[in-house]
């Protein structure tokens, strides 16, 4: 069984969705950069080891990343899952976990990298928003796309209502991607995410809830 370390900064709702989905992997640790992250309590209640590497205790980003990687490596994970981990990582850190670190982003990448994705989608007049899971590279929100789910932007959406609808799909998509990795289906090949069963790019399929695609 493959092992997974999950990194969080807050409530860890995507971490919870992975735990509750019962993916065939061992969640060997949940690590946060914030000691007050609510998701740590959830992990402890479910018997998952936790750790805190407080970024405020380090002089610079490189020192923090070195300490974080040391904590991750204690568990020797096959996969590192960023689940609302709100820190920009150094290139050295990213290279250390290349092809075995994934992230979830609340937009249909490459659109709306960075923050405030829902507000920007509404302001741009988008009719569709969504969520993307991707391998992590040195480019912010720019790694190879694994899978996406589309969500309609409704005429009277606010930032909050759109965010809630996207988050519901995050909780479906992320456990599926972790399951693909855990069962050996998902890999990174020649810079593209590939699913082993059909040998096609994983990002080639876009989910549209309620539609037969």
Q: Which residues are catalytic?
A: 105
Total length of the chain: 213
**SS3 category, 66:** helix
Q: Is the CB of residue 18 less than 8 Å from the CB of residue 181?
A: no
**SS3 category, 210:** coil
Tokens of 56: 């405020």
Q: Is the CB of residue 86 less than 8 Å from the CB of residue 10?
A: yes
Report d(CA 132, CA 92) in Å as an integer.
24
Q: Is the CB of residue 84 less than 8 Å from the CB of residue 10?
A: yes
Report d(CA 193, CA 203) in Å as an integer.
7
Tokens of 99: 């092809």
Q: What is the CA radius of gyration of the chain?
A: 17
- DSSP-derived secondary structure for 126-185: -SEEEEEEEE--SSTT-SPEEEEEEEE--TT--HHHHHHHHHHHHHHHHHHHHHHHHTT-
């Amino acid at each position: 069984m493959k092992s997974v370390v999950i990194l969080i900064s807050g409530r860890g709702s995507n971490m919870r969705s992975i735990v509750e989905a019962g993916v065939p992997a061992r969640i060997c640790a949940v690590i946060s950069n914030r000691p007050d992250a609510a998701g740590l309590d959830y992990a402890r209640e479910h018997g998952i080891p936790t750790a805190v590497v407080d970024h405020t205790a380090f002089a610079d980003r490189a020192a923090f990343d070195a300490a974080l990687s040391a904590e991750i490596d204690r568990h020797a994970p096959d996969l590192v899952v960023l689940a609302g981990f709100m820190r920009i990582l150094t290139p050295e850190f990213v290279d250390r976990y290349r092809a075995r670190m994934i992230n979830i982003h609340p937009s249909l990448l490459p659109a709306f990298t960075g923050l405030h994705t829902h507000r920007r989608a509404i302001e741009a007049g988008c009719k569709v928003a969504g969520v993307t899971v991707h391998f992590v590279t040195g480019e912010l929100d720019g790694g190879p796309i694994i899978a996406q789910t589309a969500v309609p932007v409704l005429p009277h959406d606010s930032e909050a209502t759109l965010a809630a609808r996207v988050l519901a799909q995050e909780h479906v998509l992320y456990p599926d991607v972790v399951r693909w990795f855990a069962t050996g289906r998902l890999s990174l090949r020649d810079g593209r995410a590939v699913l082993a069963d059909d040998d096609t790019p994983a990002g080639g399929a876009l989910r549209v809830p309620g539609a037969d695609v």
